Chain A
């Protein structure tokens, strides 16, 4: 016998089955939105469909946080939530807690396709990359005028070099209007002839960054004659713009560092140049001075004055030597003379004279040593200590003065002297 149930019982039973099913507690469903109704209560009722089937969905106002965009008919979405039974109507439906646009897969595909295509066209080629000038005076920035990106760029750029003129093009960087706005920005700043340009925005989802994957934006970056640094999102976000830009910066802050040179470093560099030049110049001057000095010494050495001086010195020394030789010789001679004089002294007749002896000579000056030499009446000279006497020989007598003989001869001689 089969039981008979009430409608409520059956629906309750089915609901119970649904709630006990693990899979139905958390499902993600991809489909197209249709019959979307935003109810005044805040709940949203809609249907998800694909080519073969449909399913009713509801999102309660309490779950609205899970829907970051306005849901519209025809949108491709992924809705996640619980599938449960609405007992009153005997209908099951998706109680959605989170709904996201299902563009990502398609976007990735488009991204890859465009990347390949542009790469084939050579737009990423190194040869087209313009060098980023090291010292810029004006920096163009294409980004949103609010948000972290512009603040970071301004902070870092003006910290590194407060004398750089930053010109901002406030661009729309997200949504449909973003691509044309970014392109306008690039062109406007190119017309302003900035030295370098940063094009970018802060981090976000792939959809947020999508403008930087648009072909038109890539083309504008490529065509720009001013070097462009791309700075889109975070380190890990790489967009088409990054490939086509002249330089890719991982973040807006990094872009500012790459674009603007560090002013204090620049100043240091300059003073180092000045120092090096002065130093080298001083070295050369020192060298030249040293060489001048050397030459001056050599020249002095070779000057006529020096030659003269040398000759003079030579002369002087010769003179001295001559003098010395002469003096030596003289002294020697004098010495010998003195010696002779000493020797002579003993022999000198003069000494004898002083003792009372005299010596006689004939009129012709011949010394008289014998009586035979004179005749009586002859005049002779007698020499005594203090002079000469002229005497007349009155008498001669031969005698021998040997020992023991009388000294008459002496007396006679004395007499003769007295006569004189």
Chain B
């Protein structure tokens, strides 16, 4: 029977972009609440900006060359 890919939960890595975006959405929805206090809004804004900065860090903006696996499992340029 099928026993697929026993859950890869050992990945306690830093936030993925997707998770970060979800958090930003959350920050925004808090900021959207009319009754937010100024302190809270500063805190949330700060958090949002940090999350965005994290996104930017996560996005590794270096153009990549295509690599090819060779027989030894090493990588060559394609």
Contacts and interface: CB of A to CB of B under 8 A. Distances in A.
Given A128-B2, A222-B4, A281 B31 contact: yes
Given A163-B62, A285-B38, A273 B69 contact: no
Given A134-B17, A164-B64, A168-B66, A222 B2 contact: yes
A269 B59 CA distance: 13
Interface string A31-52: 0000000000000000000000
Contact of B69 (A135, A158, A192): A192
Interface string A240-262: 00000000000000000000000
B68 A145 contact: yes
B60 A223 contact: no
A133 interface: yes
A25 interface: no
B1 A121 contact: yes
B5 A281 contact: no
Contacts of A167: 66-69, 75
A122 interface: yes
Given A223-B4, A270-B55, A280 B16 contact: no
Contacts, number: 110
Contacts of A158: 63-64, 66
B61 to A, nearest CB: 5
B55 to A, nearest CB: 6
A163 B59 contact: yes
Contacts of A128: 2, 4-5
Nearest to A141: B66
Interface string B28-52: 1001101010100110110011001
A163 B28 contact: no
A277 B27 contact: yes
Contact of A145 (B52, B60, B78): B78
A10 interface: no
A125 interface: yes
A116 interface: no
A50 to B, nearest CB: 42
Interface of B: 1-2, 4-5, 8, 16-18, 21, 24, 27-28, 31-32, 34, 36, 38, 41-42, 44-45, 48-49, 52, 55-56, 59-64, 66-69, 73, 75, 78
